[in-house]
Structure 1
Amino acid sequence: MHRFAHRATLSRSLRLLGAFRFEQSHPARFYGALADDTAAMVGDLWRDAVGSSTDGTTVLDVGGGPGYFSEAFAANGFHYIGVEPDPAEMHAGPGVAADATYVRASGLALPFADASVDICLSSNVAEHVAQPWRLGAEMLRVTRPGGLVVLSYTVWLGPFGGHETGLWHYLGGARAARRYTRRHGHLPKNNYGSSLFAVSAADGLEWAASTGALIAAFPRYHPRWAWSLTKVPVLREFLVSNLVLVLRPSLEQVLLPPDPR
């Protein structure tokens, strides 16, 4: 992982942190920056693990959202396929890159054959589904042996666990959602118990280790020198913020995917 580790600097972390405050007010500014960084990260992980160019590599993006990622991945030479269950979300952005493909489907039941894509990515989706490791099992199923699964999610006890409800989630997700509704007159987009769930770093690491395919785990937005936080129980729940799990399935793991529990 030396390519991405070399790019995981403090300046990158500060740049991404600065973009986060525009998620609600200027989504193009936020999601555009996130998409560019994600495409570069996945490209680095692919070259480090596989040793080949990303040109023509198929990436299946589970929860692809409104198209920002399609543009970024196309610009980096990938063949992009986006999966999104919500049609409103699918059309909320700038549109899909010309040579990209979009499919309306759930990440819990991907309409793709076993071992059919080179890379399966899920960026900030696992915390929005009630069965995150069923999502992970589906990602492993559709990824070819020797390919990559990159599953990144927001850790509940981190500072961004409550999403737009702010740090109030530390007093309980339901309470934070009620407070947000009183202040804004509508439910939060990421509503605890229906579209936002408490997912821990420990659970993700345990699931990934159980697959036998885990090759790396690190905090997505931290500089390289802070990656060791992932190994510290309890502390990682509060300081990792967003955990990246990188898995490389073998033939046996594709044919016999792990129990999603």
Structure 2
Amino acid sequence: MAITDALARRATLRRSVRLLGEFRFEQRDPARFYGALADDTAAMVDELWSGRHPGAGLAGTTVLDVGGGPGYFADAFAGLGARYIGVEPDAAEMHAGPVPPAGGAGAFVRASGMALPFADDSVEVCLSSNVAEHVRHPWRLGAEMLRVTRPGGLAILSYTVWLGPFGGHEMGLTHYLGGARAAARYTRKHGHPPKNNYGSSLFAVSAADGLDWARSTGTLVAAFPRYHPRWAWGMTALPGLRELLVSNLVLVLSPPVPSD
């Protein structure tokens, strides 16, 4: 049984269309957008955990969410019985949403994903959703995630691929003109730099680099496009085309359990 079997059954075209429709609310109604994303993400992590540990769910596990912002994901994971810990380095971002979350779920720590204030092998699941493209050294972030994940646990790193259609974030498709040029164009048009500003808070992260890094750790157990239907997952294996078509890549890593 593959770790992604349960997730693959839910990865339908209908789900993809529904999530794509929610993206238009990211700026004007973030609670709606992130609420839908949180539910889908929690379900994805639960299905991956069950794939790794057949018959088990997230209940009783600790989920460390690196770059969790204001905690939109907390209630979704608490609803599955997990203990949620959100890590966010930006104080303004931590207070940009419903803090505490509606159900009062979870704990929140202000810290950098580059130096997580947690012991080695201390959590069952370490998640980073759409953060790697916002840091200068994404694989240092990945290494920290692996460090704190227990053997047999899951480190799940999902990020937006630069050359995909959403690589420019609010700059739209102008990122195909080049990141610096797109940021300058956005600034001229809106009178202020984009929140996701190329070179300072947005960087060009490729699918190939992520896959190369993940394979180098010896812990990669799955890689797939996060929002695509199952029949489109094969594009992850196509060099070149995957940079344009994958859009958001999920890397699932699991530190091995030491043999006796």
1:67 maps onto 2:71 in alignment: yes
CA distance in 2, matches of 1:71, 1:94: 11
CA distance in 1, matches of 2:182, 2:257: 44
Displacement, 1:138? Answer: 0.2
| One-letter amino acid of the counterpart of residue 157, structure 1 | L
Displacement, 1:16? Answer: 0.5
2:40 to 31, 37, 40: 37
CA contact (8 A) 2:70 2:96 kept: yes
1:19 equivalent in structure 2: 22
1:131 equivalent in structure 2: 137
Displacement, 1:191? Answer: 0.3
| One-letter amino acid of the counterpart of residue 55, structure 1 | A
Counterparts of 1:67-86 in structure 2 under 5 Å? 67-86=71-90
CA contact (8 A) 2:69 2:93 kept: yes
1:165 equivalent in structure 2: 171
Q: Please identify, of 179-188 and 222-231, the stretch whose mean Cα deviation from structure 2 is larger.
A: 179-188
| One-letter amino acid of the counterpart of residue 56, structure 1 | G
1:246 to 222, 247, 252: 252
CA distance in 2, matches of 1:84, 1:37: 21
1:257 equivalent in structure 2: none
CA contact (8 A) 2:75 2:105 kept: no
| One-letter amino acid of the counterpart of residue 144, structure 2 | E
TM-score w.r.t. the length of structure 1 is 0.95
1:190 equivalent in structure 2: 196
1:55 equivalent in structure 2: 59
Displacement, 1:95? Answer: 1.8
For the residue of structure 2 that corresponds to 1:44, the secondary structure is helix
2:151 to 141, 145, 152: 145
CA contact (8 A) 2:126 2:154 kept: yes
Are the structure 2 counterparts of residues 18 and 99 from structure 1 closer, same or farther at C-alpha, using a change threshold of 3 Å?
Answer: closer
User: How many equivalent pairs are there?
Assistant: 252
CA distance in 1, matches of 2:5, 2:257: 26
1:28 equivalent in structure 2: 31
Displacement, 1:96? Answer: 3.1
1:226 to 228, 232, 247: 232
The runs of at least 4 aligned residues of structure 1 exceeding 4 Å deviation read none
CA contact (8 A) 1:115 1:141 kept: yes
CA contact (8 A) 1:71 1:96 kept: no
CA contact (8 A) 1:68 1:96 kept: no
2:213 to 207, 218, 221: 207
CA distance in 2, matches of 1:95, 1:37: 20
1:117 maps onto 2:120 in alignment: no
CA distance in 2, matches of 1:53, 1:37: 15
